[in-house]
Each structure stands twice: as C-alpha cells, then as structure tokens.
C-alpha cells in the first residue's frame, strides 16, 4: 500500500500468470504454449515490416487483418474486434458488456482471469459448479444473470461442451451476452462462430497464442453481432487506439494465410495428446477427456503437489493449482515428442 495509490488499487487481486522461468533447458509444460514454432511465413512477414514504416502509427482498425480473419471464418469484417491478446479483448468485454447490476455466471473451475476482471470493474459474479465429472451442465446457466462466460474447451479441465449445448445456453439467455472463450477450440472442438448470425447475444473470443504458436505476438479477437463489436470499439477507443502494432498485424495475417502449417501443428498436438493420455493412464492417472493442447490429470495415490515438485526437480515444469476440487490435478501442456517422453519418464520415476 502507498499513499500514492488510487484507493481502488488497494483492493485489486491481480491475475498470476504461469511462470516464465529464466533457466535454459527446462521442459516447459506449464503455460499451454504451442511446442511447434510459428509458420516461417509469419517470421518473413514480420521481417518485411522492420523498416522505416515503423515511424508511423499502425492502422487503428486493423482493417486488413480483420478482412483476413472474416474471410477465414465466413463472417463480415464489422463482426470482428481485434485486441492485444484475447486477455485484452476479454477485459473490454467485461467492461463494455457485463455491467448490468446483476451477477455474471461462469464455472467454479475455469480461467482464473474472469474473477480478476470482475474485481477490476466491480462486477458481481456467481460461480456455477461443474458436475462431478467436471462438465458444464447447460441447465445451470438458465437463471437470471448479467452475462455468461465460459471457455470451450474449458480451462484448466480441457473438457469440451458440444455445440448443441452451447446453443441451449444461448437460447436461454437471449437478453444477455454469452461469451464463449475459444482459446483452445482448434485442438478438436467445433467453433461457435458458425452461430453468430443466429444469436445476436453471442460473442466468441479466440487467440493466436495457442493453436497458431504466437503467444509472444499478443493477438486475439472477438466475433459477434456488429452491435456487440461496436460496444468493444467504443471501449477500446477510450483506452488505447493502437492495441496491435505493425509487426503483430503483419504476423497475424500471415498466420491465417498458412493453413497447412496451422493444420500440421494442431494435428501434431492432438496425436501427442492421445499418446500422453494413454501413457499416463498406464501409470495410474485419471486423465479428463481433453480437446485442448493440455491435459488435466490426477494420480490414484500420488498428491498433485508432490508430483509437480518432483517433476520440477527433474527440470520439468507443469501447472498445479492449489484450489478446491482440483488440488490433486496436474495441468500438463502437450509438448514435442521429446518433451512428452521426458514428462512420461519423469512421472514413471516418481
Ligand atoms: C490463454 C488463454 C487466454 C488468453 O490468451 P491471450 O490471447 O494470450 O491473451 C484466454 N482464455 C483462456 C481460457 C486461455 O487459456
């Protein structure tokens, strides 16, 4: 606390991102980054932007990138909102679409940034318990609220909610915005973007950090009805007109233009996910069915905290959450074949 702080700052409970250790040679499976690098075409496009043009501000509307993403998802550019990572997009969603004086709804086990935004913007929330098997029950989201948000697949569970159930939640909340955070959708799920023209209350957020291997570039976006997008633009233009720099705009566009690379990376993650799942089951783990680039697993008699610590001593970093219901679990990012072999070997030795 400091006398210089705005009073609000005293009460903030900030998000704690997964550790980015400075040590070399770690097997880093803790923050769901993609083990395969970005497309070489992305690197070329970024290099091509490294010139005198950097003295000029970037396009505040990111029109060219919005056009590319719109074509890719078969929507109109005015249905796309860009942000500096989907975290920034989510922040603007909370500020611009969730302040209705009633609690918003999200699962009890979910992305831990949601309660942080609630704290920042003073938004009430109600946590909806996942089922015993860590699934979202759509019926639980049929109650008065100020908005709904959940990741699909959910994080950190990896569990996927079929599109017909997403649609049930949308239909039951036609007077409120329902946000589907699809950070991990490309690892085996079906995007709700196909529903945006049918449901004006639907906003889908996606990121280039996970499936497109660009966590370092900071690009995310939302897709929805132009009225929802306009609210986000009003917030953004009252905060930072240029959330995406020239390098990010160029690199992101190139990422969408290299579909083959994207497919190869996703397929690689999916096949490794199935292999790691089988290996861990063989070691006595229960592994929740995952459609993400990570798995969520608990051992039948080894505590999660002990395993996380034991792995760390071997230079392998995974995520452990000391939270109710999930403290026995490890969240393990799917890495390269070699990294996954190291993980399996490490767990076997423990
Ligand atoms: C990683 C992640 C994000 C944030 O992605 P960025 O675009 O890197 O900010 C958002 N939601 C969920 C559920 C995530 O796991």
d(CA 66, CA 88): 17
What phi-psi label fits residue 236: left (phi over 0), alpha (psi between -120 and 50 degrees) or beta?
Answer: alpha
Query: What residue owns the CA closest to ligand 1's atom 11?
Result: 183
d(CA 344, CA 279): 7
Query: What residue owns the CA closest to ligand 1's atom 5?
Result: 86
In this structure, CATH architecture of domain 40-257: 3-Layer(aba) Sandwich (3.40)
Q: Average model confidence (pLDDT) for the chain?
A: 96
Specify the ligand 1 atom closest to the Cα of 215. Answer: 8
pLDDT in tens, 27-55: 999 999 999 999 999 999 999 999 999 99
H or E segment to which residue 188 belongs: none
pLDDT in tens, 196-219: 999 999 999 999 999 999 999 999
How much is the average pLDDT of 79-88?
A: 98
Residue 298 has pLDDT above 90, yes or no: yes
How much is the average pLDDT of 256-285?
A: 97
Please report the pLDDT score of residue 24 as a whole number: 79
Distance 19 CA to ligand 1 centre (A): 15
Distance 210 CA to ligand 1 centre (A): 8
Distance 155 CA to ligand 1 centre (A): 9
pTM of structure: 0.97
Every domain of the chain with CATH number 3.90.1150.10 lies at 20-37+260-349
At 102, the pLDDT band (50, 70, 90 cuts) reads very high
Distance 232 CA to ligand 1 centre (A): 18
Distance 207 CA to ligand 1 centre (A): 7
Pocket test for ligand 1, best of 18, 20, 85, 87 (most atoms within 8 A of CB): 87
Specify the ligand 1 atom closest to the Cα of 86. Answer: 7
What phi-psi label fits residue 164: left (phi over 0), alpha (psi between -120 and 50 degrees) or beta?
Answer: alpha
How much is the average pLDDT of 237-262?
A: 97
Distance 127 CA to ligand 1 centre (A): 19
Residue 157 has pLDDT above 90, yes or no: yes
State the fold for domain 20-37+260-349: 3.90.1150
Cβ pair 178, 148 in contact under 8 A:
yes
Every domain of the chain with CATH number 3.40.640.10 lies at 40-257
Please report the pLDDT score of residue 177 as a whole number: 98
Instruction: List b or e across 119-155, with b for residues whose CB sees 16 or more CB atoms inside 10 angstroms.
Output: bbeebebeebebeeebbbebeebeeebbbbbbbbbbb
At 25, the pLDDT band (50, 70, 90 cuts) reads confident
Q: DSSP state, 335? A: -
Q: Transcribe 242-259 into DSSP letters.
A: --S-HHHHHHHHHHHH-H
List all residues whose CB is within 6 A of at least one atom of ligand 1: 85-87, 111, 151, 155, 181, 183, 207, 209, 215, 220
Cβ pair 246, 239 in contact under 8 A:
no
**Cβ neighbours for 101, distance < 8 A, ≥ 6 positions apart:** 146
């Amino acid at each position: 606390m400091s006398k210089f702080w705005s009073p609000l700052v005293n009460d903030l409970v900030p998000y704690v991102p997964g550790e980015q250790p400075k040590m070399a040679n770690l097997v880093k499976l803790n923050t769901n980054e993609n083990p395969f690098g970005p497309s070489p075409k992305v690197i070329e496009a970024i290099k091509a932007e490294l010139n005198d043009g950097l003295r000029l501000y970037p396009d505040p509307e990111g029109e060219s990138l919005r056009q590319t993403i719109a074509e890719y998802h078969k929507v109109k550019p005015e249905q796309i909102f860009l942000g500096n990572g989907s975290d920034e997009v989510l922040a603007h969603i909370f500020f611009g679409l969730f302040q209705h004086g009633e609690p918003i709804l999200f699962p009890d086990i979910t992305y831990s940034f949601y309660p942080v935004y609630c704290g920042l913007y003073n938004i009430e929330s109600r946590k909806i318990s996942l089922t015993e098997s860590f699934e979202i029950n759509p019926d639980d989201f049929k109650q008065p609220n100020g908005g709904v948000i959940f990741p699909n697949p959910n994080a950190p569970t990896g569990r996927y909610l079929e599109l017909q159930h997403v649609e049930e939640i949308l239909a039951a909340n036609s007077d409120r915005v329902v946000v589907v955070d699809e950070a991990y959708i490309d690892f085996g799920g079906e995007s709700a973007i196909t529903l945006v023209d049918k449901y004006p209350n639907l906003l889908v957020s996606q990121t280039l950090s996970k499936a497109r291997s660009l966590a370092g570039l900071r690009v995310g976006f939302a897709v929805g009805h132009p009225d929802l997008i306009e609210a986000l633009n009003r917030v953004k233009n009252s905060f930072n007109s240029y959330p995406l720099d020239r390098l990010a705009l160029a690199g992101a566009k190139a990422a969408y233009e290299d579909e083959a690379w994207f497919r190869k990376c996703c397929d690689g993650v999916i096949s490794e996910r199935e292999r790691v799942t089988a290996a861990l089951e063989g070691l006595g783990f229960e592994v929740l069915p995952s459609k993400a680039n990570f798995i969520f697993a608990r051992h039948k008699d080894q505590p999660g905290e002990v395993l996380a610590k034991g792995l760390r001593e071997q230079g392998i970093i995974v995520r452990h959450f000391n939270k109710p219901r999930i403290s026995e679990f490890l969240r393990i990012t799917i890495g390269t074949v070699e990294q996954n072999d190291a993980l399996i070997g490490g767990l076997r030795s423990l």
